Amino acid sequence: MTTATAGPNVRPAEVDALRRALDLAATDGLVLGPNPRVGCVLLDADGATIAEGFHRGAGTPHAEAVALANARAAVGPDALRGATAVVTLEPCAHTGRTGPCAEALLEAGIARVVFAQPDPNPLAAGGGALLRAAGVDVVGGVLDDEARALNPVWTEAMELGRPFVTWKVAASLDGRTAAADGTSRWITSAASRADVHRLRAGVDTVLVGSGTVAADDPSLTVRDADLPGRQPLRAVMGLRDLPPSSRLAVPDPDGTETLHLRTHDPREALTALWAADRRHVLLEGGATLAAAFWRAGLVDEVVAYVAPVLLGTGPPAVGDLGISTITGALRLDVTDVAVITPGPDHLDGPADAGPGETNVRLTLRPRKES
């Protein structure tokens, strides 16, 4: 249940603290990997802030631990007895690289916990129940929608139990990804290609098939000085060996490595990526790989760049889906439309295939059967 304002069980000061915790959680921008962004504010009995903290990513202290440490350094441990912890995510009950936050709050003497989003991770969930069993007053679901919006992909991945998959495709108006003779490597404009690098910067894995590696020799890196420097994992799916001279056969100059998933089964590939703590996969392969993921029902989002070009022939955006009638068509709902106007080309490489072209970026979600 979402509580937008203070209800009978939540004080206005706690709602204000939770909004502050949401702001704290977003301090470092997008945090990729297995952990969500989380913020925590500690309040005294009068609703005044004692200390606060936020999580900086996997392997670092959780938000509650940071806030507790800051409180002990500022006012001493005794000030935490009877205090309230306000957190954007249910305190975890899991021992991983760090200890359970629920137990840390108990040890500190926290008497009340107000949290926003229940933890969707089955391995970490249960902190609220643990705290209640120990006599702590716990209220959950406050500003839940705002908390989910802070970590939308992570939340969906946890609920799915596998990485969230975004399929990126760049095509002509008639759905071709290249000309029949292979001359048009770039279908969309330079501005669209720069936007793809923004898209890559927001995921933790870029996945292609071994056929794409052999045909295009992609680098799959983020190459824009204005974007965060951390590179996504480069993953290749397929049985054939990578050409020794290909860009993905050796680590990128910045140390980015390649994970070769020797399988044709999308579910097996996603299982391996999940085990490697990957939560958001950008599918950039060709028509064959795209069709495999669609047939398996493993595409969660589509980002399509459409150029005002007609080719008539050439490789299609997606391969055979086994659909023979219009009633079997895969339907999608448009969630966003953006017009990408010409701009400076931030990327090194061949001349633009369509100088000055305006492209359209469509974001879509597969329609869920009712």
Q: pLDDT exceeding 90 applies to what percent of the chain? A: 73
3-state secondary structure 203-237: CCEEEEEHHHHHHHCCCCCCCCCCCCCCCCEEEEE
The enclosing H or E element of 41 equals: strand 39-43
**Residue 131: pLDDT over 90:** yes
Taking every pair of C-alpha atoms in the chain, what is the biggest distance, in angstroms? 75
- What pLDDT, on a 0 to 100 scale, did the predictor assign at position 225? 62
The predicted model scores a pTM of 0.89
For the chain, report the end-to-end CA distance as a whole number of angstroms: 23
- What pLDDT, on a 0 to 100 scale, did the predictor assign at position 5? 42
DSSP 316: B
Confidence label for 1 from pLDDT (cuts 50, 70 and 90): very low
**Residue 353: pLDDT over 60:** no
Residue that has been written with the tokens 């061949």 in this structure: 350
- Residue pair 364/304 in contact (Cβ under 8 Å)? The answer is yes
- What pLDDT, on a 0 to 100 scale, did the predictor assign at position 73? 94
Which region holds residue 220: left if phi is over 0, alpha if psi is between -120 and 50, else beta?
left
Confidence label for 343 from pLDDT (cuts 50, 70 and 90): low
- What pLDDT, on a 0 to 100 scale, did the predictor assign at position 31? 66
**Residue 348: pLDDT over 50:** no
Q: What is the pLDDT of residues 276-335, one digit of tens each?
A: 999 999 999 899 999 999 999 999 999 999 999 999 999 999 999 999 999 999 999 999
Tell me the CB-side half-sphere exposure of residue 256, using CA atoms within 13 A.
Answer: 20
Q: What is the pLDDT of residues 165-192, one digit of tens each?
A: 999 999 999 999 988 887 766 788 889 9
- What pLDDT, on a 0 to 100 scale, did the predictor assign at position 347? 40
Q: For Cα atoms 65, 71, 75, give the angle at the middle one, nearest 5 degrees.
A: 160
Which domains, and CATH codes, for the chain?
Answer: 12-151 (3.40.140.10), 162-366 (3.40.430.10)
Q: What is the pLDDT of residues 26-45, one digit of tens each?
A: 987 666 678 899 999 999 99
CA quadruple 346, 213, 311, 168: dihedral sign: negative
**Residue 7: pLDDT over 70:** no
The set of catalytic residues is 64
Q: What is the pLDDT of residues 190-225, one digit of tens each?
A: 899 889 999 999 999 999 999 999 988 999 988 876
Average model confidence (pLDDT) across the chain: 89
Q: Where are the beta strands (DSSP E) in 55-178?
A: 84-89, 112-117, 137-139, 164-172
Residue 85 is which amino acid? A
Distance (Å) of CA 326 to CA 95, 202, 208, 299, 330: 50, 35, 29, 20, 9
Burial label for 216, CB within 10 Å (0-12, 13-18, 19+), is middle
